[in-house]
Structure 1
């Protein structure tokens, strides 16, 4: 068995520029992501509360972006939408450097979030186009591993720039992020689908990424009742994922009174496990039915949330042991869910409306991003265990929905091995 297959990596021959573009994009994102809030506060001298309001307004205004991205992807093809979204972010991040007026920054952040909501479903649709038969989950897994590596490395480099240059360092981070989007756009633009090796006896793929001939709209997507169940699970899993970045630090430091170093260490555990194990886990589960894999992920998330909730306050070493165990279980759930959920959405979608399916999936993530900060902090204020209990109940509901999906979905979308 080839080493590539053992590691769960997909066939990447002829698709090198796309992979390099993913890494460059992730490096740039990693540069800016840890400093997004503090950049506007420290570099633009805007109050933290005002920054929070700005970001919330921008997130709300960007909610329609996902559904609107779908028709664009279906009409002009995912590669072009990826390029456009990257070029838009070149402009918005350049704009950050030249203004410190809050309303102008709200406009720029809103446009940035719109472009991100174009990018994510377009990138997923592009993977669905270029992946070999039966390897979509592997591609999504590899993409996630590369993104974690890039974000981690970018974050470290960004920390060096900020620590060394102060305000100038923040500006350098933003400029380099804009450059990374420009390079990524150029790499994707330079790639042509004809570069992908064609198996013997098969017809070559058309140049570029021409959209499919059949016409369709959201009426076709909304007629797919099973997809509503998929969307419900996407929203649940998005909330579970966001618990890591939105809830965990506040819970550990504020609710349990534990040392401030612990959340960062827990994030590091998560990142290392994703980088080392994501592709191998995707390969290990690809022969199983996707709803079953997602059910296991939901149950593991429930276990991890119970472990987090049971952590005692005031006993640092004992608490960290429980938190670390919970983080390992949490990460295993992520490793199972992330590539499987993406592959399920792509598999259930007809090709000519695939962008619309992915656009609605992006909408569920956007809704979760709006809900998570408010709901999690409100529940945490009512009681330290309440956010974890609420997430457990959501996961339990997802298990029930997935049980039904496992019965009603056609065999052609249940397993990666039969995915075309």
Structure 2
């Protein structure tokens, strides 16, 4: 059985949580890549507005992460998560009715604020309900299920969406909104001290702050190195590969579904194998390997313009296959290390800091990509991305020295 080695480690609480995340990811998979298409084709907004809207959303995430992390520590992850899921559902539903620029901005504002309430909260709960020895496998399993959900969502959207049909797009957003409510019901059923505000022991500080977090130097290195790594990984791939494939390689847009489908399927199939390999190495070795693997993925992107059309499409598929292996190392390593380095009373703030890796890279990656590809510097862009993947390694090495010394 593909999942058996993971499912035996799940307890009732963690089982509910990972199932909820997977079901919720189906809605995200349906809408993730189609927002700009919906706003342009169905609502008549320009692509420029759509691109700026996504960047604005990433900035909102950056601003919201700090107070949301503090709120998780102050009132407990379950309460923050409930509020976030209700708000996210309403905001997702409102996208189906958007008619003005202001409405679109408002919807994206609440979607990104809500995400910063949900992501740190669920990471805190999953960490608390999972024994430390099992966390790498459970976080890896969760990542695998997330990708399974995203893949299923992408498949469903391809069946639902009809070109030029507004109702088909609206149905997609209604289903997305419903997945948040399903997840909400699951969160309501979670019980125990692990989901509520942490009560410090006698020898522990009664309250914490971001200043306390910043004094944990290995954690700071992990956070900043992750931002660099994600900028030259997720941030640029999501923004740049579609443009590079369709405009520079002149591939059909249908190739995009295949290219990113290879990534998702690879994660579902190979995550158990990668977890078994990771058991033989330290988390610090795993961290360093991520940048090397992702750099290798850019080699396939770099050679693709020199190949025939079909072969260039296959090269991009190979790049996403290799990139997936780096993701499969990252998913059970960075979150687990972050929570190991964090005291319990500031764990909400820690996971909020880690979420900045996604939001900051979501601003920097597209900005670098847009400037370079817009200036017709596709080859230079690939070289910069390749070299950029190595920039995080010195920080990870410094982090390792500090963590082992402490």
Please say whether Structure 1 and Structure 2 have the same fold, judged by a TM-score greater than 0.5.
yes
- Residues 263 and 324 in structure 2, CA contact (< 8 A), matched pair in contact too: yes
SS at match of 2:11: coil
Using the TM superposition, give the Cα deviation of residue 20 of structure 1 relative to its aligned residue in structure 2, in angstroms: 2.5
SS at match of 1:62: helix
Over 3 Å counting, the alpha-carbon distance change for 1:169 and 1:318 in structure 2 is: closer
Q: Does 1:358 align with 2:351?
A: yes
Using the TM superposition, give the Cα deviation of residue 257 of structure 1 relative to its aligned residue in structure 2, in angstroms: 3.1
SS at match of 1:339: coil
Using the TM superposition, give the Cα deviation of residue 34 of structure 1 relative to its aligned residue in structure 2, in angstroms: 2.8
Q: Does 1:377 align with 2:370?
A: yes
Q: Which residue in the other structure is 2:228 paired with?
A: 236
In 1, distance between residues paired with 2:316 and 2:46? 33
Q: Which residue in the other structure is 1:266 paired with?
A: 259
Q: Which is further off, 208-217 or 352-361?
A: 208-217
1:305 to 261, 284, 298: 298
Using the TM superposition, give the Cα deviation of residue 8 of structure 1 relative to its aligned residue in structure 2, in angstroms: 4.6
Using the TM superposition, give the Cα deviation of residue 221 of structure 1 relative to its aligned residue in structure 2, in angstroms: 0.7
- Residues 2 and 272 in structure 2, CA contact (< 8 A), matched pair in contact too: no
Q: Does 1:397 align with 2:391?
A: yes
- Residues 129 and 194 in structure 2, CA contact (< 8 A), matched pair in contact too: no
Q: What runs of 5+ residues in structure 1 fail to find an aligned partner?
A: 194-205, 413-420
In 2, distance between residues paired with 1:274 and 1:177? 23
Over 3 Å counting, the alpha-carbon distance change for 1:215 and 1:304 in structure 2 is: same
- Residues 303 and 329 in structure 1, CA contact (< 8 A), matched pair in contact too: yes
Using the TM superposition, give the Cα deviation of residue 208 of structure 1 relative to its aligned residue in structure 2, in angstroms: 4.6
Over 3 Å counting, the alpha-carbon distance change for 1:249 and 1:104 in structure 2 is: closer
How is 1:342-357 mapped onto 2 (pairs within 5 angstroms)? Answer: 342-357=335-350
In 2, distance between residues paired with 1:364 and 1:267? 21
Q: Which residue in the other structure is 2:10 paired with?
A: 12
- Residues 218 and 400 in structure 2, CA contact (< 8 A), matched pair in contact too: no
1:209 to 196, 199, 215: 196
In 2, distance between residues paired with 1:121 and 1:257? 40
SS at match of 1:135: helix
In 2, distance between residues paired with 1:248 and 1:98? 30
In 2, distance between residues paired with 1:107 and 1:217? 30
In 2, distance between residues paired with 1:235 and 1:6? 33
How is 1:36-75 mapped onto 2 (pairs within 5 angstroms)? Answer: 36-75=35-74
In 2, distance between residues paired with 1:403 and 1:207? 33
- Residues 69 and 349 in structure 2, CA contact (< 8 A), matched pair in contact too: yes
Q: Which residue in the other structure is 2:203 paired with?
A: none
Q: Which residue in the other structure is 1:282 paired with?
A: 275
Q: Does 1:84 align with 2:83?
A: yes
Aligned residues: CA RMSD:
2.3
Using the TM superposition, give the Cα deviation of residue 51 of structure 1 relative to its aligned residue in structure 2, in angstroms: 2.6
In 1, distance between residues paired with 2:246 and 2:79? 44
SS at match of 1:163: coil
SS at match of 2:335: helix
Q: Which is further off, 23-32 or 161-170?
A: 161-170
TM-score normalised to structure 2 length:
0.90
Q: Which residue in the other structure is 1:200 paired with?
A: none
Using the TM superposition, give the Cα deviation of residue 140 of structure 1 relative to its aligned residue in structure 2, in angstroms: 1.4
Over 3 Å counting, the alpha-carbon distance change for 1:181 and 1:324 in structure 2 is: closer
